[in-house]
């Protein structure tokens, strides 16, 4: 069994901070569960280009408000507490935080823990 608290993960190398967001990676590839689990904070008044070419992601909004815009078709979807969005087609998108948003995120394949978006909004795929 694995037991971790958000507080202990936030005070470790599992917390990764970028310009528009921070992510506490509570479950990672080395935990051998086949997915990773993160609590991510999207900062208020930000827009982040993301394109997970190598990963599938599901995101559940715990708090805050924003929107996601899929670039292939220009559709905009509001995000508020209780919203789940699933990037099942490696959707290239813009994520906008109107207020600070707390999100619970699941990645498949799992992340190793230090990933940040490259210039195209992509996380690299590790072997």
Please give the C-alpha separations between residue 77 and each of 107, 111, 124, in angstroms, as whole numbers: 20, 26, 26
66-75 burial code (b ≥16 CB/10 A, e <16): bbbbbeeeee
Q: Tens digits of per-residue pLDDT, 26-50? A: 999 999 999 999 999 999 999 999 9
Q: Which residues are CB-contacts of 63 (< 8 A; sequence separation ≥ 6)?
A: 81, 100, 101, 102
What the chain holds in terms of domains, given with CATH numbers, is: 23-108 (2.60.120.10)
Question: Which regions of the chain are under pLDDT 70?
Answer: 115-122, 124-127
According to DSSP H, which parts of 11-77 are helical? none
Q: Tens digits of per-residue pLDDT, 47-61? A: 999 998 888 999 999
Contact predicate 68/119, CB 8 Å: no
Half-sphere exposure of 80 (CA within 13 A, CB side): 1
According to DSSP H, which parts of the chain are helical? 6-10
């Amino acid at each position: 069994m694995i037991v971790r608290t958000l507080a202990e993960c936030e005070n470790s190398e599992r917390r990764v901070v970028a310009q528009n967001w921070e992510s506490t990676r509570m479950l990672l590839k080395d935990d051998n569960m086949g997915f990773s689990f993160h609590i991510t904070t999207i900062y208020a008044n930000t827009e982040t280009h993301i394109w997970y070419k190598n990963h599938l992601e599901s995101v559940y909004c715990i708090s805050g408000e924003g929107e996601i815009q899929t670039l292939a078709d220009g559709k905009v979807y509001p995000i508020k507490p209780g919203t789940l969005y699933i990037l099942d087609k490696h959707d290239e998108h813009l994520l906008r935080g109107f207020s600070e948003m707390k999100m619970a995120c699941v990645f498949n394949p799992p992340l190793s823990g230090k990933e940040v978006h490259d210039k195209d909004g992509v996380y690299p795929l590790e072997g």
